[in-house]
Each structure stands twice: as structure tokens, then as C-alpha cells.
Chains A and B, each alone.
Chain A
């Protein structure tokens, strides 16, 4: 698909608590950011009940964050994020235009000299982080994709194909506490696990790659294409630093290079930096959580 597509998103999160929550703090990553291929046209977060404190901010990675505090008892919390964006498919540069992967790796290492802003920024995304481990196992797994001298983009795409081939998309088998090593060993997981594993492989090879949190268009365009996996909720994929092309987004869950069917909300080193909604509650007992996402192309 080419050209610019406009989308309208609705992301509803509802907590039903078993008892009263006396006090809570929440941190939201729900408003889409801008990127070279995306312009955010509108964004609004509605809350029920109203929080005692609400602050909007931009985090260290340039994402929009909302911080909430509730200091009155409540047994239900509804967060509704509505936004619209215009997404353009990246211009299809020839794959061979990216530099050899080893060259990219070496250029990200400390040299005692100053770095360009672009490379320095990429350095944030090449180390181990909470959900992404750097280990020999991951490095070994990527060996037959990152063959000597191969340009980085086709090498990363080969890795994406391999992951897609070897791993089973299996909702419900993993959760946010599943470690990247567990998911890698089990050879199954959801988009989050696919993304973390691919990040672990790339970073274990010294490359820079970030975790992207966002959405997929829900309704497939007319034609023979099947609907995409992970379209009924938040989605996650990977962005690889491929100079001189810049950052190239790859979706290992759907084995595709990201075009104009993915909407970016936030990016970071891993899920922990950009989880859509996280918080700490006092009281509340057992809770029930419902999340609904709809993405409409206009």
C-alpha cells in the first residue's frame, strides 16, 4: 500500500475493582507521537472518574505521557484515548543501500571521538534493558541471518523471517511477566514477545533497535489479504537503526516491513518504557480488566 492514510483510533481501558481503591497513581502512554512517517492530527484522553491530579508531559524518548493521581475512593476506572493520525508509507529505498551490519555495529561503539546526534541517539537502544537481555544464545540464533558483509536491512529482514517461521503466535500463553528467555525457549508468544526476542537478537549482535508500541488497522482493505495478527489490541514491533536509511520498522509478528498500516504510539528500549497504562493502587481487591481497541481508516 502506498500513499497517505488517515486513521481514527479509540482505545478503551476499563478496570472494575472488587473493592474501593483508596489511592492510586497511573502512568499512561496512550497519545500517538509524531514520527518521520506519521503526523498526529488529534489526541484526547477522557477519564471517568476525574483524577485529582493530571499532568501531561513528554518523556526522555519524546513520547507523550499522562500522569494521573486519584485520592478519592473509586471502584471503577475508565480511560478512553481517542486520536487521529496521518500515516505515509516510507519511500521504498533499495535494501542494499543500507551499510553492512558490522560497519553499523562498529560505528555505534565507543571510539573516543564525538558522535553525530543521530548515532548518539541510537546508542540508547543497543544495550540490555529490563525486558531485553543480551546473551550468547540470541547472538547465535541470529548468526545465519547476520552473515559477514551483508547490508543491515536485508540481514534484519532475514532475522524477521526466521523468527516468524520458528515461533508460534499464541495469545494467552505469555503475559507481561514472561521473560524474553522464557518466550525464546518456548518458541511462542504474542507481539510483545516477538518484538523483545528480535530486539535481543539484534542487540546481542551490537546493533541498535527499539521497541515500538502502537496499533494495526483493524479492518483489512478489500482484496484477498487476510486480517493482520494483533489487530484487536495494542500492537508492538521493532525499529532497527539502519544508516543511512535511518530507522526502519519491522513487524516480526506479521513478518512484514511496516508501511502505512501501523500507527505508532510510543517507542522506547522495551515494553517497560512505553507500557500503555501502568499504575499502583491502594486497596481495590481483585480487579477485572477490559481493553478495547478500534482503528478505522478514513
Chain B
């Protein structure tokens, strides 16, 4: 049974095999997994692979984000078969990674402090001094709490003899821990019982520890606030930023959500400025403060370094910690460990030669074909090359480059990575990381694992698991960017007690950010997301109802006269700023700015809606059919708004946005029609009811052909009709009362007067042809128009009150 599937899995004597021992038998710690898969049968595995793929799409796990027509969203690739490591194997990795984290933190302290190791020749001064992430403005700063390295990651791999080696260290803003957690989340749904059966250690408490570390130093007297800083929704790992923020229960912010006043960092929230005590940053070192670092950066926080210098914010990681991200450091780590820790390096780096040393350069030039050549500095215009791939001329060119500027190059030994099984579907199609053709079963791929450590009060703590990455094909390049896949890493507990909690989802229960931590920019985007969603719906409804009456020669000019006043766009017009496609675009851009607050399904629905509309526009599809589809999707968004979001102040503002928009639209439409004083035809009333989505309500209630009085009653005054104006103003009032209760102050009363005037209107006279009736209709039109104007004023007032902290234009100047 098993052996049939293992047939396609070929051992390679030059590599360590994670699954099989040297005699070709399944290793003992893999046996329970293989047996379980065998008893479930091949179909179960195939279903598991499909489930994993579906969950990735449903959860919106992407590597590259921003849902647009070009489809820049690239789904994450996960092979659901985990990598298994025994408790004893893991213990060794854990000790090695902990020590490296300590060592790098101590090295940062030296490089940004006394520079003893540079001056005494333990480490070359060329490494930090030529590195773009070495920030002189940070020299001499003692960070709050003393630590510079809070989150550390290292890529490790195994050589043929089974030993682990460090291939690359990540000290700036290590990416991937969120993906590791999401992988676990998905795999635990694919193999629900196996994690418990095998005694796999849980990842959940690792993230709790990370949050605790960030806030450890916040003064007891203040409500501690930590944030996650992202470069924005266009960043390739934005999914992870949003995911981490959610897991940690911290606000996800961009540079312009923050401001520095005096020596304090603040978040601009709905409730005003709130002090930030700690920041997990996913923004690169030199982008963080345009006053003292890169002046051309619009992403950073002006004045941030001053706050760091005053020791009033904890940054994970410290500014400038990226200086250690270079392969060139690796060869000097054993000596640095002796000097700084008085210890031998436990987890060795892969053999590395920094060409700045004459002997190293000579060796590298003699052995180019066996080595991988890398740049010393990340900003160099030089891509990693494998010496064996070079033709003689290219090799000679490389040699002369090395001789001209030796310190800028590093050579490393090529490690034959260990191999691990991946699942390959029949024919290879649809496999998450499969090869070409062939029967379904296991096949072998090169493996690397990224392991994470975080600083805690009791020292560094290693995540019991990690992000395993597998090569796309039989080559030794493991990289998500080059199309490889990922895997979950299962660390087996030494005994049942050390599993922590097995279920990840419950262990990482996020604490909820307090309501007044809501960044103003996010609230503003939610407000406008509400407005644009409703605006699209209103316009689509208007267009559909109007297209419906086009054949009616009497009605058509009337209807055109009414709606021509404020919206008459061609459906697929992309140039007209009043057109539907422009509003859909704005809806999408507000949604992407507010993405951290939207569920994966909600976000996906918005992407799909936009894509469908664009496809329809390209194909010039039948407008009515397109509008039907669009309205259905927009109704879906309304459902998400009601059922799928936390109902905090941000949500209240979003709902106010929806209600305001609906109120304004319908009040304006009715006012336009009634302004002349003429009595609308019966078919016009039907048209109005159709736009107001109240045709069925009208029929069931009045069992008669529409009359003006009852139509107005239903569309304006009926509080039970969710489309009626009265419903909107009551809902708005409720939301404003709630927002005021939460943020303090009195509820905004901008709308009250206009509402009172509408409520005083007498409907008895609106029907009929007499002078009095004409005046009554004109008066109603005027009152409704007043309501619409008041709604516009309310929108401005809310912006001023809650969003005015948002800085419109921030520029760098120099003289």
C-alpha cells in the first residue's frame, strides 16, 4: 500500500533523506504519519491536497497582494505533507538558533556602540561601513529595554551527513512567521487528528510571547499600545502583515498613521493621538525616518529616530539591524561567538569566504566552479551566481570583478540540501509542488527551513516549527519567488506534556485592540468604503430601472429629465468621473486600504466583483445582465457589512457612510422628480419604486397600482422599510449616539433640523391637480433637497472631527 506510493520517491545517495534511512526504510518518527496516510488511502491524500488548496484561496493567503485586474494576487503554495523532526533533533536546532540570536544581538550592540570587534580585527570594518543598512544616525543609541534583536530568523538546511547548517540570517524584519502559522492552520484542517496523535508541538503561544515582549517595557501607568508598521497594501508580503497584526491583536498601521510630537510616538486614532510604546516594523531600515535617513521615503515616520534616541519606543527590530544581513558575516561568526559569548558556535554557517581577505580571494579564484558567489551588500548590482554555470568568458569577467573590488564579494560552498517527500497528483497537474507527468505518489524535493526566535524576558525563545520551503524542481534553489512551495514543520514533543495546546487557533486567541486604537485613516477608508459601496448600488439600480423603461416612449423623456440632473453615465465609461466604473475603482481602493478589517471572504468578494465588471466591460456584455450580476455582488457586500465585521466605531462609521449615501441619493432623486410640481405618471412611480427596491413591499402592502401618496409614504416615512429615508436617518442617529458614547462628546446633530422639517410634512395634499397640491409637491421637493444638503454637511463634519489628523501632504525639504 505505502510502498506503491513510495515507488516514485527516489533516494539520492548524495543527500540526506528526511523520510528514508540509509537502508531505504521509512524513519521511525515518520512511520505513524505514513501508516495513517496508508490506512486512509490514496484518495484521502488527494482530497487533503485539494482541501489545502481550497483553504488557501478561501483564506486569501497570498504572497503578492493587491487584487486588481492584472491579477497580481499570487496564491500561497503549500504542500500539505509536513516535515517531521524528532524532539532530539529539534533540541539541537533550538540551542543553535538561540545562540545565534544572542550572538547577533550582541554583535549589533557592538557595531552600534563601541565597535570593539571592528577595531581589533575580529570582524572586518568593511562589512558594516559599506552596508546600506548601517545607519550612522543610530550609532550610540541605547535602545529601550537594551535589546536590538527581537525577532530573528535563520534559514537552515541539512548536509548529507545529517548536520544542520545556517545558510542565511534575517535580522531586520524577518518575514514568514505569519505564513508558518497559517500553514499550520490549514494543515491541521487537512489532517485533523494527526497533530494530536503524533504529539506535535503547538505554535500558538509563540505569538503571545512576541506581543508580551513588545509591551514588556511599557510604563505600568499607561495603557500599553503596540502597532505593526507596514509599507502598505502593495508590499509583496502584505498578507502576512495583516495576518500578524490580527494574530497579535495589534493595529496594522502605515507611516502616516503615526506622528512624532516631542519625544513621543503617537498613533492618530478616531479618539485623538494615542502614545505608541512598541512597534513591530515590516518597513526597511532606511525608509523609517525621512528626517534623518533616506529623505526620499514617503513611507516612514518623520522624527522616529528622536523617539528611539530618547528610549521612548521599542522597535522590533532596532533601526539599522539589517546591517547583519550579508553572507559576508558568516565566516567571522565563530570568532565573534568566542569574543562576545565566550562560547563555541553551535549551529555553524555553511562554509563562507569573504573575498576582502587575500587568502580567501585566492582560494575563491582557484575554486570558482565549486562555489556560489554572492554580493556582500544588498544594494549591489550583482545577482548570486553558481560558478559551475558560467562559461569561460563569464568566469574570467567574474574573476576580474572580484579582483577589482574584492571586499564586495562573498563565496559559499554549495550544500547538497536534504530531500523530503512532496505529494504529486496524477499527471502532475494541480499538484501544489509537483513535477511533470507521472503517476500520483510521493516525489523528492530539496528542502530548507526558516526557523524563528523571539526575545522574551527569559531569553530567546524558538518557535517550535517553522516555514519549510521546497524547490520547484529537482534543483537546489528553495525560494518562494522562484516558484517553490512551502510546508508545515512538525516538531514532535518529547512527551505528551510538552505539546502546549495542540490546537493553534485557540492558542493564539488574539486580544482585541481597544476601540480608541482605531487609526483615523482606517476609519476614514471604512467610511468611504461604506459610501462607495452604496453609491455603486444606487447607480446600478438607477441604471437598471432606467434601461427597463427605455422602450416606453412616453416615460423615457420624463425619466431622463429626472436622472439626467445628477447621474447619467454610460455604463462602461471609464473616463467619466461620474461613471460607475470610477466608483467601483474607488470602492476597491478604499477596501484595499481597509483590508486589515475585512474578512478574507469579504475581500475576495470585492476583488471578484471588480474583476467581473471589468471582464463585462471588455467583452461589452449586455448592460442589463451585467447590472444584475453587479447588484447581486453588491448585495453580498451589504451582507458582509452586517454579518461579517466587528461592530466597533470603525464599523459604525462605515454604516453611517452607507446610510448617508442612500439618504442623499433617494432624497435627491425624489426632490428632482417633484420639483416641477407635476404629478408623476403611474409608470414613473413604478420606476421610482424599482430604484428604491420597494416594488414588492408596495404590492404586498397596498395591493393596488402605485399612487403618489403611498409611494412617498413607503420611500420616505416608513421606518420598517430598510430603503426608506426614515430608516436611514434613524440608523444614522443610532450610530452617532454609539460613536459619541465610545469617544466622548455629544452626538452630532447636523441632520436633526432637516429631519424635523421632513417629519412635519403633510402628505394629504400631495395628490391632486389643484394649486395647493402643486405647491405641496414643490414644498416636499424643497424639504427633501434640504435633507440631502444636510447629509452632505454631516459627512464633512464627520471628516473634520474624526479624520482631520490625516496629513494630506508630507514633503521633505532641504537647503
Contacts and interface: CB of A to CB of B under 8 A. Distances in A.
Contacts of A23: 259, 807
Contacts of B126: 109-110, 123, 127
A272 B812 CA distance: 13
Interface in A265-282: 268-269, 272-273, 275-282
Nearest to B356: A110
Interface string A107-139: 001111111010010011011101000101001
Contact of B290 (A139, A277, A280, A283): A280
Nearest to A126: B129
Contacts of B813: 15, 278-281, 287, 289
Given A23-B259, A109-B356, A280 B121 contact: no
B118 A120 contact: yes
B interface bracket (residues with beta carbon within 8 Å of A): 35 or more
A282 B807 contact: yes
Interface stretch (A52-60, A144-152, A241-249): A52-60
B306 A128 contact: no
B137 A60 contact: yes
B130 A128 contact: yes
A25 B291 contact: yes
B302 A71 contact: no
A114 B814 contact: no
B809 A275 contact: no
B815 A277 contact: yes
Given A111-B121, A114-B119, A279 B812 contact: yes
B137 A281 contact: no
Interface centre among A269, A282, A289 (most CB of B within 10 A): A282
B124 interface: yes
B124 A110 contact: yes
A291 B809 CA distance: 24
A43 interface: no
B793 interface: no
A60 B118 contact: no
Contacts of B120: 114
Nearest to A120: B119
Interface in B392-448: 404-405, 407-408
A13 interface: yes
A22 interface: yes
A275 B137 CA distance: 13
A282 B298 CA distance: 12
A127 B302 contact: no
Nearest to B112: A60
A284 B815 contact: no
A284 B357 CA distance: 52
A110 B122 CA distance: 10
B140 interface: yes
Nearest to B379: A128
Contacts of A280: 290-291, 302-303, 810-813
A136 B404 contact: yes
A69 B129 CA distance: 30
Contacts of A59: 136-137
Interface in B98-132: 115, 118-121, 124-126, 129-130
Contact of B125 (A15, A123, A130): A123
B295 interface: yes
Contacts of A287: 813
A278 B289 CA distance: 12
A137 B23 CA distance: 58
B749 interface: no
A1 interface: no
Nearest to A26: B291
Interface in A26-42: 26-27
B458 interface: no
Given A13-B815, A22-B807, A134-B405, A114 B121 contact: yes
Interface string A42-66: 0000000000110100011100000
Contact of A278 (B260, B306, B814): B814
A124 B813 CA distance: 27
A74 interface: no
A278 B302 CA distance: 11
B577 interface: no
A226 interface: no
B110 to A, nearest CB: 13
A110 B357 contact: yes
A8 interface: no
Contacts of A276: 815
B388 interface: no
B815 A127 contact: no
14 contacts: A23-B259, A23-B807, A25-B302, A27-B292, A59-B136, A67-B306, A112-B121, A117-B119, A123-B118, A127-B130, A268-B136, A279-B812, A280-B811, A281-B811
Interface of A: 13, 15, 22-23, 25-27, 52-53, 55, 59-61, 67, 69, 71, 109-115, 117, 120, 123-124, 126-128, 130, 134, 136, 139, 176, 268-269, 272-273, 275-284, 287, 289, 291
Given A60-B136, A115-B125, A123-B125, 15 more contacts: A25-B260, A53-B262, A69-B261, A109-B407, A110-B124, A120-B119, A120-B125, A127-B129, A128-B130, A134-B405, A134-B408, A136-B404, A278-B813, A281-B810, A281-B813
Closest 4 pairs (CB-CB, A-B): A127-B130, A110-B124, A280-B302, A60-B139
